[in-house]
């Protein structure tokens, strides 16, 4: 999905899966639940403490309270209009 430029979206502890997805996070901005920050950074990402982080087709958020911003960003990405 990433290579094809399709939406890759992950929230809360979901970025743990991305940590194991080859080099998907390497050199990209992302966020996650604070408890897995070190794993996300060790996977090569630049971790940002924000409710939603968009890096090309990658959309990440920290926690369920961030769902409104996360959903808005995902819909925008699917519509081809990044926020």
Total number of residues shown for the chain: 83
Q: 13 catalytic, yes or no?
A: yes
CA pair distance 40, 24, nearest whole angstrom: 11
Q: 12 catalytic, yes or no?
A: yes
CA pair distance 30, 10, nearest whole angstrom: 9
Per the residue annotation, which of 13, 19, 71, 74 is the catalytic one?
13
Rg (CA), the chain: 11
Which of the residues are catalytic? 12-13
């Amino acid at each position: 999905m990433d290579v094809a430029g399709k939406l890759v979206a992950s929230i809360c502890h979901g970025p743990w899966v991305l940590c194991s997805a080859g080099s998907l996070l390497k050199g990209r901005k992302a966020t996650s639940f604070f408890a897995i920050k070190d794993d996300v950074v060790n996977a090569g990402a630049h971790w940002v403490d924000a409710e939603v982080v968009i890096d090309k087709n990658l959309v990440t958020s920290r926690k369920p309270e961030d769902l409104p911003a996360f959903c808005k960003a995902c819909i925008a990405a699917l519509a081809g209009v990044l926020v």
